[in-house]
Amino acid sequence: MDHLAELKEFARLHARGQGISERQVAAVLPRITNDEPGHPASWARVWTAEAQRQAVAGRPLEACRRYALARFPYHGDDDRRRAQANCVRTFDDWRRRRGVERLVLDHPAGGTVAAWASGLDPRRRRPLLLIMGGIVSVKEQWAPLLPKLARLGWAAVATEMPGVGENTLRYRADSWRLLPFLMDELADRARVADTSVLGLSFSGHLALRAAAEDRRIRSVHTVGAPVAGFFTDPVWWPRVPGITADTLGRLTGTRDVHELRSLLADFALGPELLRAVDIPVGYVVSSRDEIIPPTERQLLGCLLPRVRFKEFDDVHGSPAHLGAMRKWLIGSLLRARLTNRVRGGADSAPHRPYVTTAE
């Protein structure tokens, strides 16, 4: 599959995940004939025009979603950089009367981390819920859920992986340390000793790694997170979509696929680390996942003492089952919160994982 065809295929999936209908996407994609920066029929220019149309009509969240597609998969040229900035700006317009605040944090490594948040309160500190997308999804994709999560009792914060969106850090094997950094920064406004992480795809990998080290993380909930085989399996790697490999190269700053593969080998989570993740873990499996190998589920099922799986007959991220997936993830979060209250976080007895499948 060539680059433009891959872009269009991924756009269908990510648009659906943001609530843009197939009919709306189908009306746009035929007008895109190339991915050349500055060309009027290019990927970024056509999606930007769609976003501007929504903004003029007074629909800032719809504009934001289309700017997110215009900057997809990463903001590597001028058109995409402008789309990225406008994605943030239009979400900022939408969130002001909805109880969502903006955070900008300076990281000690010299970068900046931005986030949207609801429910932070120094007088009534709630359990913290950190939400992070994968290597191609910006925080604005998940931030509309924040007010609902705050009503469910969380201090909810949506942010981005290193190198994605407004996060200016480099993606490295120790990027999991971003989560303890966020907990430290939010400690005066949230109950960070009771933190849950909703980490989609590659950020789920960061969450599992951080949970092995930081006991403030009380549960992890993820969709299609890489664990070990994705990073090390030479047989699986040729099947990984070009956009995924290109984006990882961009986020890690590697020069070519050989350097990227060498670097990614350090990301794999070994058995000792995974056995240390003795907390509730909810993991959505997509049976036709084109990015994450099936061996990841097998590994987690063997090594994680408190894991639950949900399987959908779908591709990576289960975009065709968005409603059911979100319902299961929220249920997983609530179940873990109740379980941790009952157990007090002290019960480490392993049990057999079980799996449910979509109807």
H or E element, residue 127: strand 127-132
What is the structure's pLDDT at 184?
98
Place of tokens 């990301």: 267
Neighbours of 59 (CB within 10 A): 16
- Which of 65, 53, 72, 63 is closest to 9 using CA atoms? 72
pLDDT digits (tens, 9 = 90+) for 244-299: 999 999 999 999 999 999 999 999 999 999 999 999 999 999 999 999 999 999 99
Reply yes or no on whether the pLDDT at 112 is more than 50. yes
| 243, pLDDT greater than 60 | yes
Could you identify the residue written with the tokens 């179940």?
A: 335
- Rounding to the nearest 10 degrees, give the CA dihedral for residues 83, 89, 90, 92: 150
Spatial separation of the C-alpha atoms in residues 29 and 37, rounded to whole Å? 17
**Which residue's entry shows tokens 């979400």?**
91
Question: Which letter does DSSP use for residue 258 in this model?
Answer: H
Q: Which of 158, 163, 157, 155 is nearest to 140 (CA)?
A: 158
Q: Where in the chain is the domain with CATH 1.20.1440?
A: 3-93
- Residues in Cβ contact with 290 at an 8 Å cutoff, skipping those fewer than 6 apart: 239, 240, 241, 315, 316
Q: How many helices (H) and strands (E) are present in the chain, helices listed first?
A: 14, 9
Q: Where in the chain is the domain with CATH 3.40.50.1820?
A: 101-357
Question: Per the structure block, which two tokens stand in for 239?
Answer: 């099947």
Least confident span in 22-26, 61-65, 172-176, 213-217: 22-26
- When pLDDT is averaged across residues 206-229 and rounded to a whole number, the result is 97
- 58 has a pLDDT exceeding 80: yes
How confident is the model over 138-159, as a mean pLDDT? 96
Residue 9: pLDDT over 90:
no
pLDDT at 350 over 90: no
Radius of gyration of the chain (CA): 19
pTM of the entire predicted model: 0.92
Residue 52 has pLDDT above 80, yes or no: yes
Q: What are the Cα distances from residue 273, in Å, to 129, 233, 258, 270?
A: 22, 19, 26, 6
* Chain mean pLDDT for the chain: 92
* Beta carbons of 281 and 208 less than 8 angstroms apart: yes
CATH architecture of 3-93: Up-down Bundle (1.20)
Residues 6+ apart with CB under 8 A from 170: 111, 162, 163, 251, 252, 253
What CATH number should be reported for the domain whose range is 101-357?
A: 3.40.50.1820
